[in-house]
C-alpha cells in the first residue's frame, strides 16, 4: 500500500497532524494507499519554505537558468514515465493508453512550453515627449508574484496541476500544491523529480488534504500566499474567492462547464461522430470541456442519434491494464451517486433513454468499482436539470434545432461559458457561430485540439482569467513599468 507524504522544503514528511486518509481504487474500490492529511501547521511550514525559497538562490536565478530547469523537469517526468503512468492510473482508474498518449506526456509538455514562453515573450516600451524636449523612455519588466497556492481537481491530475505549476515556476514563483484528495499520486511523485533535477528546496511544495477546514481552506486563507490558482467546481471557486478577498490576493479560476456541441445538417458525419464520441464519453465524461448538450439540425437528428448510440454501446468498460478497455470508471462512489441521481432525474423528467442510464454488469473483480453506463437522452425539456446542471459524467442530451438563431439562443441559455464545438462544412456559418456562442474556447469540426500558446479559460460562471502562453505570464507575474527621464 502506498504512503502519500507531503513534500515540504524539498523533503517528504508525514507532518505533525497525525492524520491520514484512505485512497481507494476507482475500478474496484480496493484500498490502495494512505495519504497524510495536512492541517494549519503543514500549510504554514510549506508557506514558510516557499517564502524562504523566494529569498534564496531561486529568487536570483536568471530566466535562462529557470527555463533550463523547467526543461529538466519535463525530461525528468519522461524518464520516470512508467511511474507517472502507474500512479495516475491507480488514482483515476482510467485506461493505460489514455495515460500514455495524453495525460502524462501533456504533463511534461507543460514544462517545455513555458520554458520557451518565458524566454520569448517581449514586454512593451514607449517613448514619450517631455516639456524640456529631451523625452522619456518607458519599459516594462516582469517580476514573479511570489508564493502561489495551486488547488487542483482529480479529473486529469498531473496535466491540470502542471498547467499551473509550470508557468508559475517558469516565471520565478514558488508554489504550494494542494492536490485533490482523490488523486494524491502524481503531485507527490513530481516532488521526487524536482529533487532529482535540482529545483531548489521550497520552490515546489505539496500538502495533501481536503477543502474546507483542511489543507485547501487553510492554504487559501494563509496571508503568506500571494495569489491563488484553482481548477474545480464553480461553487468551490466562490468559496476560494471569498478567502482570497482577505489581503486582496489575485485569483485565476478554471471552473465548471455545461458545454454544447452544435451539429449542422451539412456536417461531415465521421468527423462529428468521432469528436462528439470523445467529448461526451472520454475519461468517463469527467472532462471540464466535455459535451453534455448536443444540438443537431433536424434533418440529421435521427441519423445522428442512432450513430452516437452505436458509438456509446461500442465502449468497453474494464480494468485500466486491459488493452481492450476503452471506458473507465468514475472517480469515487460519491461522484457515482451524483451521476446516477441525474440518470434517475432525467427519467423522472420524461427523458427517452437512447442508451445506458444505469450501471454496467462487471466481472467480480471489478464489481466494487464506480461504474456507470455511457448514456444518451432525448426529449428533455430545455429547463430540466440534466440539460442545465453540470453532471460531469459520461452522458449527453441530444435535441433537434431548426435555425441558427434558435440554436444560438439554446446554447447560450446557461450560466456556464467554457467551451463549444461547431460541426459544419459551411465556413461562414462556422465563423458566425464562433462569434455568437458565449464561451472562452470554440472548436470548429474538432474537440480538445490544444495549442498550449492559445488563451484557455471560461467566461460567465466557468472561470476568471485566461491561462496558456503569454496569458499565463499575465497571472504569474507582476508587470512593472520603469520610466526613465532622458
Ligand atoms: P472541487 O471543486 O470539488 O475540488 C477541487 C479542489 O478544491 C480539491 O483539491 C478540493 O480539495 C479543493 N477544495 C474544495 N473546497 C475547497 C475550499 N473551500 N477551499 C479550498 N480548497 C477547496 O472540484 P473536483 O470535483 O475536484 O473537480 C471537478 C470540477 O472541476 C468540475 O466542476 C469540472 O468542470 C471542474 N474542472 C474545470 C476545468 C477547467 O479548466 N475549467 C478543468 C478540470 C475540471
**Do 120 and 234 fall into the same domain?**
yes
**What is the domain range of residue 279?**
259-451
pLDDT of res. 125: 98
**Do 235 and 263 fall into the same domain?**
no
Q: What CATH number is attached to the domain comprising 132?
A: 3.40.605.10
CB of residue 211 inside a 6 A radius of ligand 1: yes
Asked if residue 377 is part of any domain, the answer here is yes
Asked if residue 94 is part of any domain, the answer here is yes
**Do 248 and 266 fall into the same domain?**
no
**Do 295 and 426 fall into the same domain?**
yes
pLDDT of res. 1: 87
Report the distance separating Cα 14 and Cα 61, nearest Å. 30
Report the distance separating Cα 190 and Cα 167, nearest Å. 15
Report the distance separating Cα 26 and Cα 93, nearest Å. 5
Q: What's 329's DSSP letter?
A: -
Report the distance separating Cα 340 and Cα 90, nearest Å. 23
- Long-range Cβ contact pairs of 233-237 (< 8 A, separation 24 or more): 233/153, 233/390, 234/390, 234/416, 234/461, 234/462, 236/151, 236/211, 237/463, 237/464
Q: Would you state the torsion angle of the CA atoms of residues 180, 181, 182, 184, taken in this order, to the nearest 10 degrees?
A: 80
What grid cell was written down for 425?
462544412
**Could you report the per-residue pLDDT of 94-122, keeping only the tens digit for each?**
999 999 999 999 999 999 999 999 999 99
Q: What is the DSSP string of 244-265?
A: HHTTT-EEEEE----EEEEE-T
CB of residue 283 inside a 6 A radius of ligand 1: no
pLDDT of res. 253: 98
Residue 288 annotated as catalytic: yes
**Do 226 and 250 fall into the same domain?**
yes
pLDDT of res. 396: 98
Domain count, the chain: 2
Asked if residue 82 is part of any domain, the answer here is yes
| Identified catalytic residue from 288, 292, 297, 390 | 288
**Do 196 and 310 fall into the same domain?**
no
DSSP H or E segment with residue 398? strand 395-401
Dihedral class, residue 29 (left if φ above 0, else alpha if ψ from -120 to 50, else beta)? left
pLDDT of res. 390: 98
Asked if residue 456 is part of any domain, the answer here is no
Report the distance separating Cα 228 and Cα 128, nearest Å. 36
User: Do 240 and 152 form a contact (C-beta atoms < 8 A)?
Assistant: no
pLDDT of res. 108: 98
Report the distance separating Cα 240 and Cα 216, nearest Å. 9
Asked if residue 457 is part of any domain, the answer here is no
Asked if residue 18 is part of any domain, the answer here is yes
**Do 247 and 299 fall into the same domain?**
no
Half-sphere exposure of 152 (CA within 13 A, CB side): 32
Q: What CATH number is attached to the domain comprising 383?
A: 3.40.309.10
**Do 162 and 302 fall into the same domain?**
no
CA-nearest of 2, 8, 84, 3 to 36 is 3
User: Which of 39, 153, 286, 464, when mutated, tests ligand 1's pocket best, judged by the most ligand atoms within 8 Å of its CB?
Assistant: 153
CB of residue 213 inside a 6 A radius of ligand 1: no
**Do 193 and 287 fall into the same domain?**
no
CA-nearest of 371, 370, 340, 338 to 357 is 340
Residues contacting 242, CB < 8 A, separation 6+: none
**Do 268 and 245 fall into the same domain?**
no
User: Which of 4, 21, 218, 233, when mutated, tests ligand 1's pocket best, judged by the most ligand atoms within 8 Å of its CB?
Assistant: 233
Pairing of the two strands 477-485 and 136-144: antiparallel
Global pTM reads 0.97
**Do 230 and 266 fall into the same domain?**
no
pLDDT of res. 232: 98
Asked if residue 109 is part of any domain, the answer here is yes
User: Do 93 and 27 form a contact (C-beta atoms < 8 A)?
Assistant: yes
Residues contacting 119, CB < 8 A, separation 6+: 63, 64, 67
Helix axis angle, 301-314 relative to 269-281, nearest 10°? 50
**Could you report the per-residue pLDDT of 452-481, keeping only the tens digit for each?**
999 999 999 999 999 999 999 999 999 999
Query: Residues of the chain whose pLDDT is less than 70?
Result: none
| Identified catalytic residue from 42, 182, 254, 297 | 254
What are φ and ψ of residue 3, in 5° steps? -105, 120
Bridge partners, residue 204, by sequence: 175
Asked if residue 386 is part of any domain, the answer here is yes
**Do 389 and 274 fall into the same domain?**
yes
Amino acid at each position: 500500500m502506498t504512503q502519500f507524504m507531503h513534500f515540504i522544503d524539498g523533503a517528504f514528511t508525514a507532518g505533525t497532524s497525525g492524520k491520514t486518509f484512505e485512497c481507494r481504487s476507482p475500478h474496484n474500490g480496493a484500498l490502495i494507499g494512505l495519504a497524510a492529511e495536512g492541517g494549519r501547521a503543514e500549510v504554514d511550514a510549506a508557506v514558510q519554505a516557499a517564502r524562504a525559497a523566494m529569498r534564496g538562490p531561486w529568487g536570483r536565478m536568471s530566466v535562462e537558468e529557470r527555463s533550463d530547469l523547467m526543461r529538466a523537469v519535463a525530461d525528468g517526468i519522461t524518464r520516470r514515465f512508467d511511474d507517472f503512468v502507474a500512479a495516475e492510473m491507480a488514482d483515476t482508474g482510467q485506461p493505460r493508453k489514455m495515460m500514455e498518449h495524453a495525460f502524462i506526456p501533456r504533463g511534461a509538455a507543460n514544462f517545455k512550453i513555458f520554458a520557451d514562453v518565458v524566454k520569448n515573450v517581449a514586454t512593451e516600451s514607449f517613448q514619450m515627449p517631455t516639456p524640456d524636449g529631451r523625452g522619456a523612455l518607458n519599459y516594462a519588466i516582469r517580476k514573479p508574484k511570489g508564493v502561489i497556492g495551486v488547488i487542483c481537481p482529480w479529473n486529469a491530475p498531473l496535466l491540470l496541476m502542471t498547467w499551473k505549476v509550470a508557468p508559475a515556476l517558469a516565471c520565478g514563483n514558488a508554489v504550494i500544491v494542494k492536490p485533490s484528495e482523490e488523486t494524491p499520486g502524481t503531485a507527490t511523485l513530481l516532488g521526487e523529480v524536482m529533487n532529482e533535477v535540482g529545483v531548489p528546496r521550497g520552490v515546489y511544495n505539496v500538502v495533501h488534504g481536503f477543502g474546507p477546514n483542511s489543507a485547501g481552506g487553510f492554504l487559501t486563507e494563509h496571508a503568506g500566499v500571494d495569489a491563488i490558482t484553482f481548477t474545480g467546481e464553480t461553487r468551490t471557486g466562490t468559496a476560494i474567492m471569498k478567502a482570497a478577498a482577505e489581503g486582496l490576493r489575485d485569483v485565476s479560476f478554471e471552473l465548471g462547464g455545461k458545454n454544447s456541441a452544435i451539429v449542422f445538417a451539412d456536417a461531415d458525419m465521421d468527423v462529428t461522430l468521432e469528436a462528439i464520441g470523445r467529448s461526451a464519453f472520454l475519461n468517463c465524461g469527467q472532462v471540464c470541456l466535455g459535451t453534455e448538450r448536443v444540438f443537431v439540425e433536424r434533418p440529421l437528428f435521427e441519423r445522428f442519434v442512432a450513430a452516437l448510440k452505436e458509438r456509446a454501446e461500442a465502449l468497453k468498460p474494464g480494468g485500466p491494464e486491459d488493452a481492450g478497455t476503452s471506458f473507465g470508471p468514475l472517480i469515487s462512489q460519491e461522484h457515482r451517486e451524483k451521476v446516477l441521481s441525474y440518470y434517475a432525474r432525467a427519467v423522472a423528467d420524461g427523458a427517452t433513454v437512447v442508451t445506458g442510464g444505469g450501471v454496467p454488469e462487471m466481472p467480480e473483480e471489478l464489481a466494487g468499482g464506480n461504474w456507470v453506463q455511457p448514456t444518451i437522452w432525448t426529449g428533455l425539456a430545455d429547463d430540466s436539470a440534466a440539460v442545465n446542471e453540470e453532471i460531469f459524467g459520461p452522458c449527453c442530451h441530444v435535441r433537434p434545432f431548426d435555425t441558427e438563431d434558435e440554436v444560438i439562443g439554446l446554447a447560450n441559455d446557461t450560466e456556464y461559458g467554457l467551451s463549444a464545438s461547431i460541426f459544419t462544412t459551411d465556413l461562414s456559418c462556422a465563423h458566425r457561430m464562433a462569434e455568437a456562442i458565449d464561451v472562452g474556447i470554440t472548436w470548429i469540426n474538432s474537440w480538445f485540439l490544444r495549442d498550449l500558446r492559445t488563451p484557455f479559460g471560461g467566461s460567465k460562471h466557468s472561470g476568471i482569467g485566461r491561462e496558456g502562453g503569454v496569458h499565463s505570464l499575465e497571472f504569474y507575474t507582476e508587470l512593472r513599468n520603469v520610466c526613465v527621464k532622458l
